[in-house]
Structure 1
Amino acid sequence: MDQGTIGSIFTVIVFVSFVGVCYWAFSSRNKKGFDEAANLVFDDEEKKNLNKKDQES
């Protein structure tokens, strides 16, 4: 096997891996977990606001 063949095989492997990761990320079964992770920032802000209200009282 020469260098061109090895490079081609590596390119195909990387492409298949990329397609697999894209499928995993956009599949509907993982949507709930990603939505929860995306909203973690807002949950933290709500906790800070609650703490400020408790301190002001």
Structure 2
Amino acid sequence: MDYGTIQGIITIVVMLTFVGIFAWAYSGRRKNQFDEAANLVFSDDEKSKDSGEHK
């Protein structure tokens, strides 16, 4: 195996990894978890309002 072949294999592995992460992130099964994670920023504000704390 020469250096060009190794670079080609690494390129394919990285591309497949990227496509896998992309598919995982945009799959319908993950939507609820990502929506919940997106709203975590606001949950801290709600807790401080409920306890009467002011920043």
User: TM-score when scaled to structure 1?
Assistant: 0.87
Provide, for residues 20-43 of structure 1, a one-character-per-residue CA deviation record: whole Å limited to 9, x for no partner. 000000000000001001101101
- Aligned residue in 2 for 1:51: 51
User: TM-score when scaled to structure 2?
Assistant: 0.90
Q: Which has the larger radius of gyration?
A: 1
* Runs (4+) off by over 6 Å: none
Number of residue pairs matched by the alignment: 53
Percent pairwise identity: 53
The structure in which a higher percent of residues are helix is 1
Gaps of 5+ in 1: none
Query: Once superposed, what is the RMSD of the aligned Cα atoms?
Result: 1.0
Gaps of 5+ in 2: none
